[in-house]
């Protein structure tokens, strides 16, 4: 039986998140202010069928088609929120499911690193897809499951605070988001993510 692990609708992609996503996607890249829908399913091979349903149901563009044995993740987007929602509804109808049937977002862990050391910044910068991590800045890293929900955290963090989005990992067992900035701005973004995920733990603050 297919498991709908994540159903993450983003009404408006923020500029940094859209640019970072454009650097990572295999297909058509999204633009700032596009709407997007991320789905994660198990088994992963079902992604191929669901993408076919979405593309035939509405005028959306495919960004991600990620498949492994255990999980699969897809993303499509459009300047039109209506087009994205229509494609999502077509998938749900084919599955006989509702958005609330997906697993809830779960924040597994979170940490803040103050005054980042230049050596650590250099290592992280070698593999990041987004902004440079500057030495001396404050870094926040969060870990979520299912992995696709990392997109919610990244996009919401950028909405509420003047942060630099370093990287997002949106596929696999866990998702991660890396962002930096002044300590005050990082705390604002982290607080929003904590509220979004219902997190009661400490961020090292």
Per residue, the 3-state secondary structure of 90-109, as one string, reads HHHHHHCCCHHHCCCCEEEE
pLDDT score of 69 more than 60: yes
Do the first three CATH levels of 3-101 and 106-197 match, i.e. the same topology? yes
Render pLDDT for 126-172 as a digit per residue (tens, 0 to 9).
999 999 999 999 999 999 999 999 999 999 999 999 999 999 999 98
CATH architecture of 3-101: 2-Layer Sandwich (3.30)
Nearest to 42 by CA among 168, 177, 145, 152: 145
The three-class DSSP label of residue 147 is: helix
Q: Residues 139, 122: contact at Cβ < 8 Å? A: no
Q: Which fold has domain 106-197?
A: Alpha-Beta Plaits (3.30.70)
Reported as a pLDDT band with limits 50, 70 and 90, residue 51 is: very high
CA atoms of 163 and 26, how far apart (whole Å):
26
Render pLDDT for 21-37 as a digit per residue (tens, 0 to 9).
999 988 999 999 999 99
Four-residue CA torsion sign, 87, 6, 150, 169: negative
Q: Annotate 32-65 with DSSP letters as a single string.
A: TT-EEEEEEEESGGGHHHHHHHHHHHSS-EEEEE
DSSP category for residue 127: H
Q: Where are the domains of the chain?
A: 3-101, 106-197
Reported as a pLDDT band with limits 50, 70 and 90, residue 84 is: very high
Reported as a pLDDT band with limits 50, 70 and 90, residue 198 is: confident
Q: Residues 10, 2: contact at Cβ < 8 Å? A: no
pLDDT more than 90, % of the chain: 89
Mean pLDDT within 88-93: 97
Reported as a pLDDT band with limits 50, 70 and 90, residue 40 is: very high
* The predicted structure's pLDDT at residue 201: 67
CA atoms of 100 and 45, how far apart (whole Å):
22
Whether this prediction's pTM lies above 0.85 is answered by: yes
């Amino acid at each position: 039986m297919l498991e709908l692990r994540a159903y993450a609708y983003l009404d408006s992609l923020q500029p940094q998140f859209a640019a970072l996503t454009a650097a990572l996607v295999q297909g058509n890249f999204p633009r700032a202010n596009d709407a997007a829908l991320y789905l994660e399913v198990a088994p992963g091979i079902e992604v191929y069928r669901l993408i076919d349903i979405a593309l035939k149901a509405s005028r959306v563009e495919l960004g991600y088609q990620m498949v492994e044995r255990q999980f699969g993740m897809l993303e499509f987007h459009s300047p039109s929120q209506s087009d994205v929602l229509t494609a999502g509804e077509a998938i749900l109808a084919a599955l006989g499911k509702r958005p609330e049937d997906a697993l809830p977002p779960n924040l597994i862990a979170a940490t803040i690193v103050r005054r980042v050391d230049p050596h650590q910044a250099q290592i992280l910068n070698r593999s990041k897809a987004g902004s440079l991590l500057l030495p001396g800045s404050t870094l926040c890293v969060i870990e979520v499951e299912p992995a696709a929900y990392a997109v919610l955290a990244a996009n919401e963090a950028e909405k509420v605070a003047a942060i630099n989005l370093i990287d997002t990992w949106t596929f696999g067992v866990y998702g991660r988001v890396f962002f930096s900035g002044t300590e005050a701005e990082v705390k604002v973004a982290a607080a929003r993510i904590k509220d979004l995920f219902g997190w009661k733990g400490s961020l090292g603050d």
